[in-house]
């Protein structure tokens, strides 16, 4: 029996489950109805004061094999990955292995000379201005890009969108390059650094950075894997990978809501990141523009009012984590489908838990 179910039953038995909590859970399940049944699904976690009040899967993780989604299902996090890449950079800064005001070209010297003025800090908050690698992909490309492909494409550029530090533009390029900096500064692969310094210490035992292997395409290494789907003409089609699904620092982590509960807990104390590092991550460094939501950007986190949050979208996946640290509430929704975008759903799920 799931921990959240045991907790709910014990509260009911002891008579301490409030009607408001029961109503809030009922509201959440109602809002999750579009994910239920024989359709691509989702996993939902609601944590209040460190306790999971709702922790369950809806619908299917794998339509073809009729595998139901569960709290242990691993989804491609897409851009929710960025908070982990940012944490890796902050850990290396804590270690004295790099400085946040280092030039990206200091670490990746094949980059063009104009990037000498782009700092790691600016890449962390999307003010570096480097060109989007997605727009540089040759039209005849059929093979998935890796991080070194991105580095080569940016190495061939002659300019950015704007002088670094003068504007905001969301940049997957920046976070791919930050992942390569982690490798340079640590001396190990990005996947190994994340495993050794974040996933293993937090016992996120089913979380990993996906690394595409052409020699063993059937062995992804992702446990309890959800496959991505997109709806076309009323039918769900598997759309799990595309040309940019093999890059790492901008979106390559797979994880479950069970494991992300451990990540969320670690963000309240210094077991992983120091107080100073967490303050840097959660402080507004840039005003978000060109996106549909009012927000500032920290290091791997959007900041809106009392919330710290980030969404993640890639072909066949739509995810979001929203934290209300002052209220000790977190809601995480991971889904293996291209629609709906879950941010507003999560806000609606959270609203009754906040009262």
Catalytic positions: 79
CA of 118: how far to CAs of 89, 162, 337, in Å? 15, 11, 36
Q: Are 320 and 42 in contact (CB under 8 A)?
A: no
Q: Are 331 and 310 in contact (CB under 8 A)?
A: no
What is Dmax (Cα atoms) for the chain?
Answer: 67
Q: Which residue has the tokens 């709702």?
A: 54
Q: How far apart are alpha carbons 254 and 178 in whole angstroms?
A: 18
Q: Are 98 and 107 in contact (CB under 8 A)?
A: yes
Say which residues have a Cβ less than 8 Å from residue 179's Cβ, sequence separation at least 6: 85, 88, 147, 190, 248, 249, 250
Please spell the DSSP secondary structure of 194-230, one letter per residue.
HIIIIITTTT-TT-EE----TT-TT----TTB---EE
Q: How far apart are alpha carbons 180 and 105 in whole angstroms?
A: 12
Q: 285-318: b or e for each residue (b if 16 or more CB lie within 10 Å)?
A: bbebeeeeeebbbbbbbbbbeebbbbbbbbbbbb
E strand map for 36-74: 42-48, 51-58, 60-62, 67-68
Q: How far apart are alpha carbons 204 and 258 in whole angstroms?
A: 8
What is the DSSP-derived secondary structure letter of residue 277? H
Q: Are 93 and 267 in contact (CB under 8 A)?
A: no
Q: How far apart are alpha carbons 28 and 6 in whole angstroms?
A: 18
């Amino acid at each position: 029996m799931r921990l959240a179910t045991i907790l709910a039953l014990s509260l009911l038995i002891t008579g301490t489950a409030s009607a408001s909590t029961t109503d809030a859970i009922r509201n959440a399940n109602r809002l999750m109805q579009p994910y239920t049944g024989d359709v691509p699904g989702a996993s939902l976690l609601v944590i209040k004061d460190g306790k999971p009040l709702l922790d369950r899967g809806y619908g299917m993780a794998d339509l073809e094999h009729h595998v139901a989604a569960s709290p242990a299902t691993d989804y491609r996090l897409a851009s929710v990955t960025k908070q982990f890449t940012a944490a890796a950079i902050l850990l290396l800064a804590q270690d004295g292995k790099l400085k946040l005001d280092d030039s990206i070209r200091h670490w990746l010297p094949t980059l063009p000379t104009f990037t000498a003025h782009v700092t790691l800090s600016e890449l962390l908050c999307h003010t570096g201005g480097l060109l989007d690698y997605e727009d540089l992909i040759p039209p005849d490309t059929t093979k998935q890009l890796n991080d070194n492909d991105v580095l080569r494409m940016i190495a061939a550029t002659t300019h950015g969108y704007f002088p670094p530090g003068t504007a905001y533009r969301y940049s997957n390029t920046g976070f791919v390059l930050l992942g390569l900096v982690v490798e340079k500064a640590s001396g190990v692969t990005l996947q190994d650094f994340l495993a050794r310094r974040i996933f293993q210490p937090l016992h996120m035992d089913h979380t990993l950075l996906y690394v595409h292997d052409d020699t063993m395409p059937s062995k992804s290494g992702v446990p309890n894997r959800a496959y991505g789907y997109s709806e076309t003409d009323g039918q769900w089609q598997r759309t799990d990978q595309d040309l940019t699904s093999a890059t790492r620092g901008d979106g390559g982590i797979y994880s479950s809501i069970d494991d992300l509960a451990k990540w969320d807990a670690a963000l309240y104390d210094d077991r992983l990141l120091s107080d100073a590092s967490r303050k840097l991550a959660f402080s507004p460094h840039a005003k978000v523009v060109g996106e549909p939501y009012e927000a500032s950007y920290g290091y791997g986190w959007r900041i809106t009012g009392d919330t710290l949050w980030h969404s993640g979208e890639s072909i066949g996946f739509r995810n979001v984590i929203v934290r209300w640290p002052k209220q000790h509430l977190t809601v995480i929704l991971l889904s293996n489908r291209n629609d709906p975008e879950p941010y507003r759903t999560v806000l609606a799920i959270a609203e009754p838990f906040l009262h």
